[in-house]
Amino acid sequence: MPRAVTNCPNCGQRVTPFAAGCAVCGADLEAARAAKSAKRRIELPRARWFAPTRPASGRVDWVHLAIAVLAALAIAPVGLLLALYWANRYHQEGNSVMAVAMLAAAALAAAAILAPVWFWSHLLHV
């Protein structure tokens, strides 16, 4: 959509937003609107969801891994969310080793969440 031109770029006279030309000097306002719109266009930043921002590294953060596994076993819903958050963060950093390790911890947490459901459903239907 063209940007509003409130003053004539040629003579400076105030113009209405819908005028095609200036009433005083006859300047083409459509061209001025197009130029103003083109000048103000900004390029949106590219989404970096799946593109690593740094070179890949294989560094293992044992503290985060231990916390994620313990949380996955002790408090599975929190462990699942924490492991998924860290997996995303490590993926964005380009550390694929830790991203995969955190996804494994998230799978462990999901299994811990679903294990009681599976156990009771098989126990009651046997």
16-42 tens-digit pLDDT: 878 888 888 888 888 888 877 776 665
Residue 1 pLDDT grade (very low, low, confident, very high; cuts 50, 70, 90):
very low
Residue 57 has pLDDT above 70, yes or no: no
pLDDT at residue 7, as a whole number: 84
Mean pLDDT across the stretch 56-63?
79
DSSP character string of 53-70: SS-------HHHHHHHHH
pLDDT at residue 70, as a whole number: 93
β-bridge mates for residue 28, sequence order = 21
